[in-house]
Amino acid sequence: MSEPLLQAVNLSCERDDRLLFRNLDISIVPGTLTRVEGPNGSGKTTLLRILAGLHDACQGDILWNGQLRDRQRESFTRNLLYIGHRAGVKAQLTPLENLRALMAGRRLLSRDLLAAALDNAGLAGYHDAPCHSLSAGQQRRVSLARLLVSDEPLWILDEAFTALDREGVAGLERLLLQRVSQGGAVIATTHHPLAADGMRRIQLGKVNDHAD
C-alpha cells in the first residue's frame, strides 16, 4: 500500500455559524480517484479549497507526504494542480494565450505543445480566437487543457465536467482514469455519474464523527 500523499486529520469547518463537517479523516494515496459527494451547500467546494490550501478557516491538521503541509507549502503547491468550478480563463485572451498564462511559473512549454494540448482538448481551429467568442463548454476545455500537460502528482478538480458536451465528458473521464492508472491521485466533485473501479468516496451533508 502506497504512503498517502495528502491527509486530513480531525478536520472540522464552520461557515456562517453552521457546522459543515467535523472530525473528518481523509487519506489520499497515489493511483486513486476520490469523489467528494453531497447536496448543494454541504461544503464540497469548501473542503476542496481547504485541501488545496486556499481556505484556512478550519480546525484539524493537513499533512503532505506525512508532514504538516504548512511547513512545506512550496513543495505542496509545486505538486498540486487545482482547477476550480469556474473556467478561470480571461475573456480577452485567446485559448493559446490563456493556456500559456495558466502554466506560467510551472514549466515552459513550446507553442507546439500548447497547441497540441488544445487540439486534444477539442479546440482545434480555435487557438487564436478570443475566449469571449467561445461557448461556455469551449472555455471549460481551455481550462482543462492544463490536464494534458500536467505532471503534478495530485489533481483537485471542482465540478470539472460543468458545461461539457457528451464528447467532452467522455474525454475527461478517460483522462482521469488514465491519470489514476499511471499513479496519479485525483480528488473531484461532480454532478456527473462518475464511476471507476476502486473509486473512493467522501460523503458530506450530515455531520458525522468520522468519514473516509
pLDDT band at 104 (very low <50, low <70, confident <90, very high): confident
Lowest model confidence (mean pLDDT) among 21-35, 111-125, 184-198: 184-198
Question: For position 87, what pLDDT does the model report?
Answer: 87
pLDDT (average), residues 198-211: 73
pLDDT of 107 over the 70 cut: yes
pLDDT (average), residues 172-195: 92
pLDDT of 210 over the 60 cut: no
Looking at the fold, whether 54 and 42 belong to one and the same domain comes out as yes
pLDDT of 212 over the 50 cut: no
Q: Which residue has the cell 497540441?
A: 116
Report the percent of the chain where pLDDT is more than 70: 96
Please tell me the pTM assigned to this model: 0.92
Looking at the fold, whether 100 and 135 belong to one and the same domain comes out as yes
Per the structure, how many domains does the chain have? 2
Looking at the fold, whether 211 and 117 belong to one and the same domain comes out as no
pLDDT of 211 over the 90 cut: no
Looking at the fold, whether 75 and 6 belong to one and the same domain comes out as yes
On whether the CB atoms of residues 5 and 26 are closer than 8 A, the answer is no
pLDDT band at 1 (very low <50, low <70, confident <90, very high): low
Looking at the fold, whether 75 and 158 belong to one and the same domain comes out as yes
Which residues span the domain enclosing 110?
85-151
Q: Which CATH number characterizes residue 198's domain?
A: 3.40.50.300
pLDDT of 17 over the 90 cut: no
Rama region for 158: left / alpha / beta (φ>0; ψ in -120 to 50; rest): beta
Residue finishing a domain among 132, 151, 170: 151
pLDDT (average), residues 186-208: 83
Looking at the fold, whether 8 and 66 belong to one and the same domain comes out as yes
Burial 32-70 (b: 16+ CB within 10 A, else e): bbbbbebeeebbbbbbbbbbbbeeeebebebbbeeeebe
Looking at the fold, whether 25 and 71 belong to one and the same domain comes out as yes
Per residue in 124-143, pLDDT (tens digit) is 999 999 999 999 999 999 99
Looking at the fold, whether 33 and 4 belong to one and the same domain comes out as yes
Looking at the fold, whether 1 and 74 belong to one and the same domain comes out as yes
Looking at the fold, whether 56 and 160 belong to one and the same domain comes out as yes
